[in-house]
Amino acid sequence: MRRLDDTGPHPPTKGAGLRLAVLSRGPRLYSTRRIVEEARRRGLRVDVCDPMKFSLTISDGSVDVLHKGEAFSYDAVIPRIGHSITQHGVAVLRQIEQLGMWTANSGQGILQSRDKLHASQILARNRMPVPKTAYVRDIIDVEHAIEMVGGLPVVVKVTQGTQGDGVFLRHTAFEVRNLVQGLLLTGKSVLVQEYIAESHGKDVRALVVGGKVVAAMRRRARGREFRSNFHLNGTVEPVDLSPEYAEAACRAARVLGLNIAGVDLLEGANGPLVLEVNSSPGLEGIERASGVNVAGAIVDFVMEDTAFGDVDLDQLLRTVPGSGVLSLQLRNHPKMVGRRLNEVFASIPVFALSRGDRLVWNPDPEMQLRFDDVLVCYGELIQLRASLRKAMLSMPVESLGSESSVQSPASLSDHPEDS
């Protein structure tokens, strides 16, 4: 990783000449400027494009994107979409994705990270450590929410917010009720969250790029402020992340579908807690604190990864008429727990098994099923559903092997006209 003070010419790199667009409303903002500087040092053709200047056209069998009335055609796009224009910016980004252009973060990943409730749901489902959180829709739920997250004091926050906006610390039930009532009356969605006392006024920001932590810093609040955000006049300092914290940051970015992310971690008594994941992280504070050329790391990742793209596996496999993917969560079918895969499913093709933080492709038929396993099956959907229902009802194993029309993933190559 290049240091921030290394301003010499960048050696010729594979991918030089790449046409890069940065989606940003602020070409003079530090983060946007730094990305543009590093892209130009590497010989890339880079433009800053205002997301509000796009027009989208959808017609029978085609989609089109115009920027300031001109055709939009680039090899790669780095979205820097502000919270205030999330819906519009994601609509633009999705249209760009439909045209097959590579994007550093997907529209889906941005949406998932912007909604704090949705992000927490995904993180928790993937066994990521997060503070206890309660979603409150009525003032009568406040007492239960406080009890559920471990008692007072609690953090109250809105599901949509950035840079510490909409985050409050309250010490009494009366204060919590008044605050929640006011937020609900203004149409906000409200979360009540566990207060992590040992991490008061500080957190760790890890900058993840392409599945690796490229820089990290510790942020500290000033005075009586408990929010440590750099934009709230907090201080920043370098920090060496332990493997445990680095892995938590990388997993959080990964499960939310983000290639570039700022992951905020609380230093809890039992290890890291994922507080928030930012899909358009600011670069000024972390470059200043760490001395790492984070903008350069982002551009290098773009140049290395542009040839590849994320795939919606379910959508891809549905290109074969009548076929698709089904998942089965063993926690909903306890009769199957403890049995071997081939005992339950015989010839039904289980081409992946999710267990903990691992995904096992083509699992061994002798593998014993566990309570939290998730099985992923592919085939002709009508027959596949029928076969799975038989398995769920504990029908004889022999009856599960007679569905001749159930396909394996390899049979995709038998339908070139549909792919």
3-class SS string, the chain: CCECCCCCCCCCCCCCCCEEEEECCCCCCHHHHHHHHHHHHCCCEEEEECHHHEEEEEECCEEEEEECCEECCCCEEEECCCHHHHHHHHHHHHHHHHCCCEECECHHHHHHHHCHHHHHHHHHHCCCCCCCEEEECCHHHHHHHHHHCCCCCEEEEECCCCCCCCEEEECCHHHHHHHHHHHHHCCCCEEEEECCHHHCCEEEEEEEECCEEEEEEEEECCCCCCCCCHHHCCEEEECCCCHHHHHHHHHHHHHCCECEEEEEEEEECCEEEEEEEECCCCCHHHHHHHCECHHHHHHHHHHHHCCCCCCCHHHHHCCCCCEEEEEEEHHHCHHHCCCEHHHHHCCCCEEEEEECCEEEECCCCCCECCCCCEEEEEEEHHHHHHHHHHHHCCCCHHHHHCCCCCCCHHHHHHCHHHC
pLDDT at 350 > cutoff 90? no
pLDDT at 289 > cutoff 90? yes
* Residue 312: predicted pLDDT: 63
Lowest mean pLDDT among 10-14, 86-90, 135-139: 10-14
**Tokens read off for 147:** 């009890």
Mean pLDDT on 243-266: 97
Residues paired with residue 154 on neighbouring β-strands, in sequence order = 170, 194
**Tokens read off for 413:** 């190559």
Map out the domains of the chain with their CATH numbers.
19-109 (3.40.50.20), 132-195 (3.30.1490.20), 313-418 (3.30.70.1450)
Residues of the chain with pLDDT > 70, as a percent, come to: 83
**Is residue 231 very low, low, confident or very high in pLDDT (cuts 50, 70, 90)?**
low
Lowest mean pLDDT among 127-141, 269-283, 303-317: 303-317
- Bigger pLDDT: 1 or 249? 249
Question: Whole-prediction pTM value?
Answer: 0.79
Mean pLDDT on 322-350: 83
pLDDT at 24 > cutoff 50? yes
* Residue 378: predicted pLDDT: 83
Task: For 133-179, write each residue's pLDDT tens digit.
Answer: 999 999 999 999 999 999 999 999 999 876 657 899 999 999 999 99
* Residue 419: predicted pLDDT: 32
Task: For 351-374, write each residue's pLDDT tens digit.
Answer: 899 888 788 988 998 999 999 899
